[in-house]
Chain A
Amino acid sequence: DSGVTQTPKHLITATGQRVTLRCSPRSGDLSVYWYQQSLDQGLQFLIQYYNGEERAKGNILERFSAQQFPDLHSELNLSSLELGDSALYFCASSATGYSNQPQHFGDGTRLSIL
Chain B
Amino acid sequence: GNSVTQMEGPVTLSEEAFLTINCTYTATGYPSLFWYVQYPGEGLQLLLKATKADDKGSNKGFEATYRKETTSFHLEKGSVQVSDSAVYFCALSDEADQGAQKLVFGQGTRLTINP
Interface residues of A (CB under 8 A from B): 2, 4, 31, 33, 35, 42-43, 45, 48, 55-56, 58, 90, 92, 94, 97-108
Interface residues of B (CB under 8 A from A): 31-32, 34, 36, 41-46, 49, 51, 89, 93-95, 98-108
Would A55 and B43 count as touching, CB distance under 8 A? no
Smallest beta-carbon distance B71→chain A, Å: 16
Would B98 and A102 count as touching, CB distance under 8 A? no
Q: Interface centre among A4, A90, A103, A106, by most B CB within 10 Å?
A: A103
Known contacts A42-B105, A45-B104, A55-B101: A99-B43 contact under CB 8 Å: no
Known contacts A99-B93, A102-B34: A90-B44 contact under CB 8 Å: yes
Would B31 and A107 count as touching, CB distance under 8 A? no
Residues of chain A within 8 A of B42, CB atoms compared: 107
Across the interface, name the chain B residue whose C-beta is closest to A43: B105
Would A100 and B51 count as touching, CB distance under 8 A? yes
Known contacts A33-B103, A48-B102, A55-B101: A99-B44 contact under CB 8 Å: no
Residues of chain A within 8 A of B43, CB atoms compared: 2, 4, 90, 105-108
Residues of chain B within 8 A of A90, CB atoms compared: 43-44
Query: Of the candidates A4, A56, A105, which one forms a contact with B100 in the assembled complex, judged by CB atoms under 8 Å apart?
Result: A56
Would you mind naming 6 contact pairs between A and B with Cβ atoms under 8 Å apart?
A33-B102, A43-B108, A45-B100, A90-B44, A100-B32, A105-B36
Alpha-carbon distance A55/B64, docked complex (angstroms): 30
Query: Of the candidates B31, B44, B99, B106, which one forms a contact with A56 in the assembled complex, judged by CB atoms under 8 Å apart?
Result: B99
Alpha-carbon distance A48/B104, docked complex (angstroms): 13
Alpha-carbon distance A54/B50, docked complex (angstroms): 27
Residues of chain A within 8 A of B104, CB atoms compared: 45
Alpha-carbon distance A92/B98, docked complex (angstroms): 20
Would A99 and B46 count as touching, CB distance under 8 A? no
Alpha-carbon distance A55/B36, docked complex (angstroms): 23
Q: Interface centre among B45, B46, B89, by most A CB within 10 Å?
A: B46
Residues of chain A within 8 A of B100, CB atoms compared: 45, 48, 55-56, 58
